[in-house]
Structure 1
Amino acid sequence: MAGGRREPMGVGAGLGALLCALHVQAACRVTTVTQELLKEGFHRDLLVEVELGEDAGGCAVAAQMRLPAGIYVDPYELATLQQHNLTKAVLFAAAIDLEAPEYAAGAPVLLLFLERAARSRRRFRAALPVHARYHRPARGTGGALLVLESPELLLCCCHSHLSAECWEPAEVDTPCSSDNTTPCQWYRTKHRPAHEGSMLRVPVGLREHSSLVCALTLLTTGLCSGLILAAACKYGHFSQ
């Protein structure tokens, strides 16, 4: 009899804990993160938008993303944009070779600070120029597909309190803003928010055309060199 009485109590306690966990998880899933590639060609603008499920007044909001090897951010262009207060980002990379092809490049990590949207306390957005790298020629296909991983949402609240059920400390050694040189504690979401990824198709040369391309390149180079040499001999002034 005693054992029969304890079983409903245990089931009830377990069901209550499950419902509580589901309630917390549902409350933390309200946050959404979207990213979109604007423009066409090799030079694009990466737009990141965030809608928080709670008011983050006084907090810095950022998106941390690992770019694929086929996409890079020009550090010189980034420095110019920051000088004109057009964007704010931190690029975690020892060195970026702007001329390196996709197969010889690394995958840098970018921390992009988001600005609060007008007339909203929960919506944030930011845009940053990104560039595609050249790929190896492929056989039977005219393009390579690059997939941008979903960014990780981070909050830095030096004077605010975040819900412990939804946020946990993150190891990011970067100040909350350029005005504060002391690193503050960053937080990441415990429950993965809803994301919308992006894909970029980059034109790729065909291996079947390698012989034709090499022949035309040599022919064009020889022809142009001959024309330059003939012009130099005809119109040039040579001293003894």
Structure 2
Amino acid sequence: MVAIKQYLPKGLYIDPYELTSLQQHNLTEVLVIPDIDVEAPEYLATEIDLFIYMKSDSQCAHCFRAMLPVHCRYHRPAENDGKTSGVLKSPEILIHCQKSISSGGCWKQSEIEAPCSQRNGHTCRWNNVKYKFVNEKVIVHIPVGLKEHSSLVCVMTLLATALCSSLVLAAVCKHGHFSLAQCS
């Protein structure tokens, strides 16, 4: 079994509802520690640890794959450039060897305890595989609003809300099944 342990900073998240759909189609299996609040902005969010359990690739004998859509959270407005960055560090690659496999196929590097799979609560001993990094970290540039636009955005949002609420109220009064005296 092969797994990836990935750390996501506060500015990035995965959608648990999207993961459920991917798991139902047998495309990926992910264990998330802790639970994810998809509504939380970056400054109220927590960091996330993931265990991504790899599926063997049918087209390649020694290959594994997984799919993990990552999303950016809302951030506070910036002072001047309208961008912020999220740093995605390189993952840990973990291998769990079954007892039936000869000891030549499994090596003893840094053994760690981690969940065996997303489906059960058992823990297994995993070997942390050392590999050559293509990049030590990936930097994600996230567009954000500008602080100088805050008052304009608030006024426009308030006006749009008032206009749309008025239109909904007018439609309810016009097409509702009650007397007009109730709308006055």
Q: TM-score, normalised by structure 2?
A: 0.80
1:70 pairs with 2:14: no
1:50-199 mapped onto 2 (5 Å cutoff)? 60-93=1-34, 95-118=35-58, 120-159=60-99, 160=101, 161=103, 162-164=106-108, 167-172=109-114, 174-175=115-116, 182-189=122-129, 191=130, 193-196=132-135, 197-199=137-139
Give the 3 Å change call, closer, same or farther, for CA 226–92 of structure 1 in structure 2: closer
The Cα offsets for residues 171-201 of structure 1, whole Å up to 9 and x where unpaired, read as 21x11685x8753321113x56324332222
* Cα deviations by residue, 1:122-143 (Å, 9 ceiling, x for unpaired): 4322111222111001110212
Give the secondary structure class of the aligned counterpart of 2:36: coil
2:180 is aligned with what amino acid?
F
Report if aligned partners of 2:95, 2:127 keep a CA contact under 8 Å in 1: yes
Q: Which runs of 5+ in 1 are unaligned?
A: 1-59
Distance 1:187 1:212 in 2: 54
Rounded Cα–Cα distance in structure 1 between residues aligned with 2:146 and 2:118: 46
**Secondary structure of the equivalent of 1:163?**
coil
Residue 143 to residue 177, structure 1, CA distance change in 2 (3 Å) = closer
Return the offset for 1:109.
Answer: 0.5
- Secondary structure (helix, strand or coil) at the match of 2:180 reads coil
Contact 2:112 2:128 in 1 (8 A): yes
- Aligned partners of 1:156 and 1:187 also within 8 Å: yes
Amino acid at match of 1:110: L
Sequence identity percentage: 45
Task: State the Cα distance separating 1:226 from its structure 2 match.
Answer: 3.7
The answer on whether the counterparts of 2:90 and 2:133 sit within 8 Å (CA) in structure 1 is no
- Could you tell me how far apart the structure 2 residues matched to 1:233 and 1:176 are? 55
Q: 1:230 to 1:81 in 2, by over 3 A?
A: closer
CA distance in 2, matches of 1:88, 1:234: 51
Contact 1:158–1:185 at 8 Å: present in 2 too? Answer: no
**Bigger CA radius of gyration:** 1
TM-score when normalising by structure 1: 0.63
Counterparts of 1:117 and 1:85 in 2: how far apart (Å)?
Answer: 12
Q: 1:114 to 1:213 in 2, by over 3 A?
A: same
CA distance 1:156–1:203, shift in 2 (3 Å): same
